[in-house]
Homo-oligomer: A and B are copies of this chain.
Amino acid sequence: MERRKFIANTAAAAAFPFIPKINLSSSGNSNDIEELLHKHLPVNFTRDGLNLSPTLYAKLLEQLTLDDDFQPDSYGLGGMIHQFEEKVALALGKEKAIYMPTGTLANHIALRKHCISKNRAIVQYESHINRDSGDCATTLSGINLISLGGKNVIYNLDELKYFLEDNSHGKVKTPIGVLSLETPMRRKGLQRIPFGDIEKIANVAKENGIALHLDGARLYIDAAFSGKDIKEYTKLFDTVYLSMYKSFNSVNGAILAGSTAFIEGLHNERRMFGGGLPSSWQQIVIANYFFDNYTIRYSKALQQFDVFKSLLEKSGKFKISALKNGSSVFKLMPNSSINSEQLKINMDKNQIFLPNLNKADMCFYIKINDSLVYNDMQELANVFLSNC
């Protein structure tokens, strides 16, 4: 870590102008992507994925465009984009998939189509579609978002059943087109909906003729902690949104998957919404690379994390604990003799990126991601222990 081997133009590092930027193109001629990552990727505890710096991103992009299979798309059509859509559809056990520039649009277009003739959608109150999408579904698609569960990750089954019963007695019919579930939930420290609850809710929806949509932006993270296969989730849902940006390190982008009948023609909607980017290869080619071995890589990351955790806890200076129904977010608790704010500053200087200290809980809510795979855990622990 003392070697300052990392390149520095991440947003976090930009705050520390005294860290010298290492010009990748002058640091040897390595063009192998895994080698580049081992050499240049810092550990971060703040993101779902690798947090590639722009320079490293561009370097990987360059290498990947030289691949024989690489072909650019034009307005999301042609080129390698369709192979990638097919690959992800297959992995999700769906017939067809389409690239969308953002998760907001992927969720919205799914709800919009499910609700063509039934204008209500059931969502969690704290979900992205309800809290972080500017009421797009209501404003632009006339969908009444019925939010249940209040501040909880998920409502209980009785709340759902009560609402469905009550809703069926309206004087004017207000049919429900879709029930959408987000797991893990961004606004709740990436806590998961327990898998058994997902199954029960899906059954109730099906009994009531309501389509099911999964906001699975971080589905692969959820699965890593529930121990379920991806397809055990996706078979419960008619449509699935998966982010390319979060786990798969693309600068942006999302996949919406479902039946052929559902997905076909949605490129017209994408374009109508202003989401028809002239080209998307810069996202696809990166996501494609990191999608392939994600499950293996993430499971390696969790092994690395176990090593790191035990080194830190053995020192007596830190405790690390999981959240209830948690996924990749853990509580890192420095003991009371440690100046935690100074610790974060010291770590930043070493290009080890911690989130801000949560002063109420006196801990760091750290995110575990595959940047751990490209770094040595003993070295990492040493930097922590020698800086507090």
Contacts and interface: CB of A to CB of B under 8 A. Distances in A.
A66 B23 contact: yes
15 contacts: A9-B66, A14-B71, A54-B61, A54-B281, A55-B62, A57-B65, A59-B62, A100-B274, A101-B101, A101-B277, A105-B274, A105-B275, A134-B269, A139-B272, A252-B277
A209 interface: no
A7 to B, nearest CB: 9
Contacts of A339: none
Contacts of A72: 9-11, 14, 54
A9 B62 contact: no
Copies of this protein, total: 2
A189 interface: no
Interface in A1-53: 9-11, 14, 21, 23-25, 29, 31, 53
A54 B25 contact: no
Contacts of A66: 9, 21, 23-25, 55
A101 B271 CA distance: 11
A65 B58 contact: yes
Interface string A95-132: 00000111011101100000000000000000000000
Contact of A276 (B74, B79, B104, B271): B104
A139 B142 CA distance: 11
Given A25-B62, A133-B271, A139-B272, 6 more contacts: A9-B65, A11-B72, A11-B78, A104-B276, A105-B274, A251-B278
Interface in A263-307: 268-269, 271-279, 281-282, 285
B272 A274 contact: no
Nearest to A275: B274
A58 B57 CA distance: 9
Interface of A: 9-11, 14, 21, 23-25, 29, 31, 53-55, 57-59, 61-63, 65-66, 70-72, 74, 78-79, 100-102, 104-106, 108-109, 133-136, 139-140, 245, 251-252, 268-269, 271-279, 281-282, 285
A268 B134 contact: yes
Contacts of A273: 105, 136, 140, 273-275
User: Interface centre among A63, A74, A105, A273, by most B CB within 10 Å?
Assistant: A273
A134 B285 CA distance: 28
Contacts of A106: 274
A252 B274 contact: no
Contacts of A11: 71-72, 74, 78-79
B272 A134 contact: yes
B62 A274 contact: no
Nearest to A271: B134
A13 B74 CA distance: 14
Contacts of A70: 9, 54
A40 to B, nearest CB: 12
Contact of A62 (B31, B58, B251, B271): B58
Given A70-B54, A71-B14, A140-B140, A252 B278 contact: yes
Contact of A272 (B61, B74, B140): B140
A70 B17 CA distance: 12
A78 B72 CA distance: 29
A105 B135 CA distance: 17
A58 B279 CA distance: 14
A102 B58 contact: no
